[in-house]
Structure 1
Amino acid sequence: MDGEIFNLQKEHNLIKQRFIEKGWITVYRSYKDGEKVETGIYCLLVKPEHFDKYIETRDWGIRWGSEGHPSIITRYENGQEITEYFRFGDEGLEPFVFPKWFNHANERYVEVSQEFVNYFNLFEKANTKQDRTYYFIDEVGDEEEVIKVKEREVRIKLKFLTEYLAVRKIHISICFDIMLITDLKGTDITFTPKDQDFIGETFNYNHLMRVVPGLDKGSFQSWIIGKTILKYDPAKSLIFHFDTYEEDNENFIIGYNEDGNLLKIPCHSQDHQFFTPVFFKKDVLNKYYANPHKFDVNGFHISSSFISLKMDNNHDDYVMVFLNDLKMLPAKEQLHWKHYNIAPEPGMGLSGSYYDTMVMGNWARDSDSVDIRFKEKYVRFNEKWFEKFGWYFYKEQVGTDKDHFNALHLPSENSVKSFSDQLLTIVKLTIDSLNEEMLIKGLPKIENERGIAKFERFLAEHSKTIPDMITFLRNLQDLRSGMIAHRYSSSNKNMKRAVEYFGLKDENFREVAQDIFVKSLYTLNTLSAQFLNENDG
């Protein structure tokens, strides 16, 4: 042990910081650290009108074990007995954390003010009563940690506590009782008695260093006790986490001005209210496709429990949104979209499917984007197949299959990872999901026969011969197997044949992905024509 530890220097520094570290404030603690420093931290709320009296002494006002207990107090006034109920026993003070221990169950845990939890509508995730975390769910559904509760410690993210104090116009007192008792054997510490008060506008504590004979663990005591105050900021009393402000709306590129520079207009502009198109790279949708359990993306909307945005997602290379629709997004999401904003170029505009559907109200037209069109056709085909034959051509999606389907899209970037992710899903949908049992129902069983072979026999049984389709499916399966399902090998003949079939090179992953979507759509259209008497373009 060195002198800094015995002098509780680290603890002095924490008091100066009001126990705030890296954006978090400790409001409760009760344990010994590795240096045998026993730390007790407790907090309570102090009404401003009682603050001057409260800060005059080191007394906490409320101590754990007695906090928050309603009191029934009887007094005599003018010879009459008056009994009153008090929510808290101390006038002007209010508990904020509630340490609880139950001897009969040998259990202890800590609760935090339910009013604070309710104000931010915090969501609790608990491993046990002694290990809980509370989350704030923001306007787009993202989680942010606010309270971390352990059996002997509670920490709160400072920005949330600061708002709560400002809105309630109340201060918080962080009270502390920190003690180290040692015999100082084997140290070079020169003991000097100390009894020093530290008193300021927002703190009042004492550091006592003394000899205490007869203690089992030693005779030297270093002890700090008192409180420090985090006062509310009146300037923040009208700033609320749930408020939105016009200045939070972002500017977006809508074209070029007379000087040839980019023309940027705020999305809440009154001068550009109607049908002003704004264009974005396809990459803007990646975060939504990556969270299919949370966001639904189609040719005309992004939607979730938290946001809804109309958009034209029917182009292969860009996304279009009308300027004023962007103001419906929370500020955080506007920043995301702004990052992918691009200037309009010749040939860019509304897709025919968006115009017909969203502007003219004609819901009959399919999407102009091949990935959206494929997904629409896939669902429609499977439903109509069931209506006609009483079984689904592709097995129904269960579990996470629906999420994979929703996340399927034409890769926005030309990378092997993006390509492989989408390849895996499209093979799962079109080959792995073949209803093999029904395809060969009533046909002779062949040992080790796989899905595409069963499909080919099904076609033959119905006097259908579609060799181009079978060739495509076999090469698609071999491409998936060679790139994803198995370790890549340049000697894999099936893989090499599939690469040649698709013309796959390092620089054309996105182009090949588009070709796979086109051929997969062709498969659905061909089956519709052959079995359902439908001819789709």
Structure 2
Amino acid sequence: MTKHSELDDDEREQIRDRLKQERMIESAFTNGDGPWTIVYDDWRFDNNDNGGRYMAFAQPRMRDKILSHAGWDSTKGDGHPGFRTSHDDTEYYRSSQAPGFEPLVICHYFYGVVPDVLHISEEFRLLMNLWQAPKSGDYFEIKDDGLKDLAIRYKDKRIEVRTPLLKRYMAARQLDAVLFIDTRVSVEYAGDVADFSDLKFEGRIGNELMYLSRSVGRLPISDARVGSLVFAKRILPAPPQETCGIWPWDEDDAADYPEFIIGEDEYGKPVKYTCDPDRLANYFGKNPDAPHYLTPVFFKPEVLQRYYDDSDLYTVSDGQLSCASMWGVKIDNGNPNCVVVFLGDIGRDIPAGHRTHWLSYNVSPTQRMSDVGVRRAFFGQFADSENPEHRFKLAYNQLQNSWEEHWGWRLHRKAEGQDAGVLQRLRIPVNDTDAELRAQLINLALVLVDYLNEKQVASYLSDAKGDKGIAKLKKFLTAQSYRHTERDVRLLQRIQGMRSRIAAHSSGSSGQAYLEEELGNDTPQEYIARLMTEATQMLDDLRVFAEKRPLQDSDS
């Protein structure tokens, strides 16, 4: 061991720097300033340096008491329900430290019988609308627009909370957040502890809502080591209640209502107006100088791509875009070349977080609403869509229902696993890219060929061994005297061939030639629309064929 008298100035300064723990103190007093706030931590290293962090909510009236001493006012074992007695009275309490303090993280100790559990306050989870991911254990805030934002994350023994979320809760409840830390380090030093007496400090940091205690002394387990102990705490004051973003303080700001193109002036320059429904005209005299609530706004078809592709969350259907049961907006998607939404509906029904996305696809009104869209919106008429995509999906679902009613099984199995949303994702291409064309060829082949109910079809055949789906279907339909067998089989073979040669494999020159021959003069959108139209006729004819068969007994 190096004797203290033999230490040079640099070594002494290194020991001093270690005992200062300046980095830990700085982190204690900046925790809560960044995007994440540490609310729980616990560490112990091989050299026995150790420490922890904790956070509790506190009534603002507790500030003077909290900043009057170094100790933790709320510890990791606090916050449990129980009973207290006074003389002859026994009283139940929900939290051992209420009403002055409330825990965010409740430590549930089982003392080695089963693993300990760190619970997040139920009130915090409910008020901030948090959902826990089963695998990671992290919590996500479910936003009003249906999106999931990471809110609480676990990193080993550390728990971090998104600072804006924490402060919104503090604002709503009008509670301070008290951040505690204690940390112990030691270093080999056999000299006089008084050499570091100037490092000792205890007291409030100026006028800040911070308190620091740093002590230095000989370790009881070793005369050869000197250690320093830091206790620090910081109070984050409750923000104004109206900043919580929870009703009745959840109104959108003016900046959340962007201006959309609604026309062009005499020089061809776009004319824009806010989508704030409160600033638009209506049929009852409101804002007479403003554009009408029902002013059509036009968008490129690509605006719907993000919603088609996330079929677990969104549904794009005939005249409607919806996010689970969270929100929905009426759209006119009867024309495959554009999407139309009324100006007022953008501000009322599309969440603020999505409006920037829509704005990026906004175009001048060079087209017109679909005839079906006009009849529905302005005349209140029921009208079937003329969009080949909508007609295909309607015919597909009607066929499955009728076939099951009359044959006792679906002609096409329900898609499962990664393919579960394939029918929702299937669409007329929203652009001219090869990737979009390939994706829709794959989707069309999946719903019409890959998910043919081969097992049930084969059960009606005696010689289907070795045959694949389309061949089995051809034998089945021929045996059942279906009049359009050859036509429908040719269509399915074309779709399967396009998928196999163009979409699923590297096409090369031969594949490119095959694609050009198939498309002819059609654009990718026109080609897929044509396939859907032909397939819709097939599906309708198969449904009519199925309905000629007697209904199946539901008990059979």
TM > 0.5 fold call: yes
Correspondence for 1:62 = 74
Please point out which of 171, 191, 209 is paired with 2:216. 209
8 Å Cα contact 1:394-1:429 kept in structure 2: no
Cα gap change, 1:355 to 1:386, in 2 (>3 Å): farther
Cα gap change, 1:470 to 1:44, in 2 (>3 Å): closer
Amino acid in the other structure paired with 2:75: R
In structure 1, distance between residues paired with 2:491 and 2:89: 91
The alignment status of 1:335 with 2:356, answered yes or no, reads yes
The alignment status of 1:160 with 2:181, answered yes or no, reads no
After TM superposition, the structure 1 = structure 2 runs for residues 177-196 of structure 1, keeping only pairs within 5 Å, are 177-183=182-188, 192-193=196-197, 194-196=199-201
In structure 2, distance between residues paired with 1:296 and 1:324: 21
Listed one character per residue, the Cα deviations across residues 81-139 of structure 1 (whole Å, up to 9, x for unaligned) are 88766654577334433223222515323223322222213222345xxx732221111
Listed one character per residue, the Cα deviations across residues 212-262 of structure 1 (whole Å, up to 9, x for unaligned) are 3x524951102211311111223x545424512362323221112355421
8 Å Cα contact 2:280-2:293 kept in structure 1: no
Listed one character per residue, the Cα deviations across residues 499-520 of structure 1 (whole Å, up to 9, x for unaligned) are 3541379x95444333332332
8 Å Cα contact 1:31-1:38 kept in structure 2: yes
The alignment status of 1:371 with 2:389, answered yes or no, reads yes
**Secondary structure, counterpart of 1:224 in structure 2:** strand
**Secondary structure, counterpart of 1:519 in structure 2:** helix
The alignment status of 1:244 with 2:244, answered yes or no, reads no
In structure 1, distance between residues paired with 2:116 and 2:154: 12
Correspondence for 1:480 = 499
8 Å Cα contact 2:131-2:140 kept in structure 1: yes
**Secondary structure, counterpart of 2:411 in structure 1:** coil
Amino acid in the other structure paired with 2:257: N
Please point out which of 301, 314, 334 is paired with 1:314. 334
Per the normalisation by structure 2, the TM-score is: 0.81
After TM superposition, the structure 1 = structure 2 runs for residues 141-290 of structure 1, keeping only pairs within 5 Å, are 141-149=146-154, 152-183=157-188, 192-193=196-197, 194-197=199-202, 199-200=204-205, 201-212=208-219, 214-216=220-222, 218-234=224-240, 236-242=241-247, 243-245=250-252, 247=254, 248-258=256-266, 260-267=268-275, 268=277, 269-271=279-281, 272-290=291-309
Cα gap change, 1:426 to 1:183, in 2 (>3 Å): same
Identity, % of aligned positions? 22
The alignment status of 1:11 with 2:27, answered yes or no, reads no
Listed one character per residue, the Cα deviations across residues 181-215 of structure 1 (whole Å, up to 9, x for unaligned) are 23269xxxx97342123522211112223333x52
Cα gap change, 1:527 to 1:154, in 2 (>3 Å): closer
Listed one character per residue, the Cα deviations across residues 372-402 of structure 1 (whole Å, up to 9, x for unaligned) are 2211222234444555x53567324253555
**Secondary structure, counterpart of 1:502 in structure 2:** helix
Per the normalisation by structure 1, the TM-score is: 0.83
Name the Cα RMSD after superposition: 3.4
**Secondary structure, counterpart of 2:427 in structure 1:** coil
Please point out which of 432, 446, 466 is paired with 1:428. 446
**Secondary structure, counterpart of 1:431 in structure 2:** helix
Cα gap change, 1:5 to 1:472, in 2 (>3 Å): farther
8 Å Cα contact 1:135-1:143 kept in structure 2: yes
**Secondary structure, counterpart of 1:141 in structure 2:** coil
8 Å Cα contact 2:144-2:351 kept in structure 1: yes
Correspondence for 1:102 = 110
8 Å Cα contact 2:215-2:228 kept in structure 1: yes
8 Å Cα contact 1:313-1:320 kept in structure 2: yes
Please point out which of 420, 426, 431 is paired with 1:408. 426
Cα gap change, 1:210 to 1:313, in 2 (>3 Å): same
8 Å Cα contact 1:475-1:501 kept in structure 2: no
8 Å Cα contact 1:67-1:95 kept in structure 2: yes
Amino acid in the other structure paired with 1:125: A
**Secondary structure, counterpart of 1:349 in structure 2:** coil
8 Å Cα contact 2:432-2:524 kept in structure 1: yes
Listed one character per residue, the Cα deviations across residues 46-101 of structure 1 (whole Å, up to 9, x for unaligned) are 322231233122232233334445562537xxxxx887666545773344332232
Shift of 1:282: 0.9
Correspondence for 1:517 = 532
Shift of 1:360: 3.5
Structure 1 unaligned blocks of 5 or more: 76-80
